[in-house]
Amino acid sequence: MRICVFSGSNPGRKPEYVQAARELGKALAKADIGVVYGGASIGLMGAVADAAMEQGGEVIGIIPQALVDKEIAHPGLTDLRVVGSMHERKAMMSELSDGFVALPGGLGTLEELFEVWTWAQLGYHSKPCAVYNLGGFYDGLTGWLDHVVSEQFIKPQHRGMLIVESQPQPLIQAMSEYEVPSGVVKWVEKEGL
């Protein structure tokens, strides 16, 4: 099994972010779960990779050529794949992964999470999508998602497809046990969702 980790190329303001990224990397490696991620040696991305590698885990990095110099590609991974574009990066990350989790991060992290979650909603894959809600980092997002459900732009069962956990072990367990709820594949009705 491999889990794709979306996370910031920056370490963030709080040291807890780097610590949590390392804890997740270690926990995945100890559970014999490979890590697929964006291929950088810096920020939370690098922290996850380093921790998983220290535990002897498999770590596959995927990075566009244009970002190799800017993001400082990680030199010590199990496998580093350099691709031509961000689209190729995301497609390969998805192809190699059995699930997706977002650590704290910025626009790229959210964009990656929402893309794979949308694919799940549309039935393009049946892989779990999750957020590691460290210290309530994603509370604002989960509150907004609840609002979107109440405004009937997302069905409750689609909202329920996103796993939200604040500790590595429950997160890994929930992702390992994930099954697509029946009847969640999205379709558009003539008069609303």
Instruction: Give per-residue pLDDT as tens, 114-169.
Output: 999 999 998 899 999 999 999 999 999 999 999 999 999 998 989 999 999 999 99
pLDDT of residue 181: 78
- CA pair distance 23, 1, nearest whole angstrom: 18
Is residue 116 domain-resident?
Answer: yes
pLDDT of residue 187: 55
Which among 38, 49, 45 has a CA at the least distance from the CA of 8?
45
Is residue 9 domain-resident?
Answer: yes
User: Contact at 8 Å (CB) between 61 and 143?
Assistant: no
Instruction: Kindly report, residue by residue over 68-99, the tens digit of the pLDDT.
Output: 878 689 999 999 999 999 999 999 999 999 99
Mean pLDDT in residue range 1-10: 95
The string of DSSP codes covering the chain is: -EEEEE--SS--SSHHHHHHHHHHHHHHHHTT-EEEE--BSSHHHHHHHHHHHHTT--EEEEEEHHHHHHHTB-TT-SEEEEESSHHHHHHHHHHH-S-EEE-S--HHHHHHHHHHHHHHHTTS----EEEE-GGGTTHHHHHHHHHHHHTTSS-HHHHTTEEEESSHHHHHHHHHH--PPTT-----BTTB-
User: Contact at 8 Å (CB) between 175 and 128?
Assistant: yes
Mean residue pLDDT of the chain comes to: 93
Mean pLDDT in residue range 23-39: 97
Is residue 145 domain-resident?
Answer: no
Is residue 151 domain-resident?
Answer: no
Is residue 8 domain-resident?
Answer: yes
Res. 62: pLDDT tops 50? yes
Is residue 105 domain-resident?
Answer: yes
Res. 27: pLDDT tops 90? yes
Domain that holds residue 12: 2-136+163-176
Which among 5, 3, 84, 2 has a CA at the least distance from the CA of 39?
5
Give the domain CATH number at 43. Answer: 3.40.50.450
pLDDT of residue 67: 87
Rg of the chain on CA atoms, in Å: 16
Instruction: Kindly report, residue by residue over 167-179, the tens digit of the pLDDT.
Output: 999 999 999 999 9
Number of structural domains in the chain: 1
Is residue 123 domain-resident?
Answer: yes
Is residue 187 domain-resident?
Answer: no
Res. 193: pLDDT tops 50? no
Which among 51, 56, 45 has a CA at the least distance from the CA of 22?
51
pLDDT of residue 191: 52
Tokens 């994603």 sit at which residue? 138
Res. 26: pLDDT tops 70? yes
Res. 183: pLDDT tops 80? no
